[in-house]
Amino acid sequence: MHPTRNQQLAIGAILNALIGPGEFDRLCLGMRVECVEDGILYVFVPNEDGAAKIEDGCVRVGRGKPYLDLMSLFSKAMEVPREDL
């Protein structure tokens, strides 16, 4: 499953709103969701530090708040239940 351009923009907008513009620019600027295959979300991030933190699951909603579940975020933007991805 490959996201459309509008779905890519929705994912970016949701992330920006959740983690804030400064953190979004530092970690996710230029991020592109490539596809979902066999329940694995493939994401391209041109920033090496951002890619490492996303891969390690270190993107937090805010200080002291839980980590983001990027697959759930993606399923929301795609309007597809997570189980169907």
Write the DSSP assignment of the chain as a string of letters. ----HHHHHHHHHHHHHHH-HHHHHHHTTT-EEEEEETTEEEEE-SSHHHHHHHHTT--BSSTTSPBP-HHHHHHHHHTS-GGG-
85 residues of the chain, pLDDT tens digit each:
788 899 899 888 988 888 889 888 888 888 888 888 887 788 888 888 888 877 776 666 666 656 667 778 778 887 888 777 6
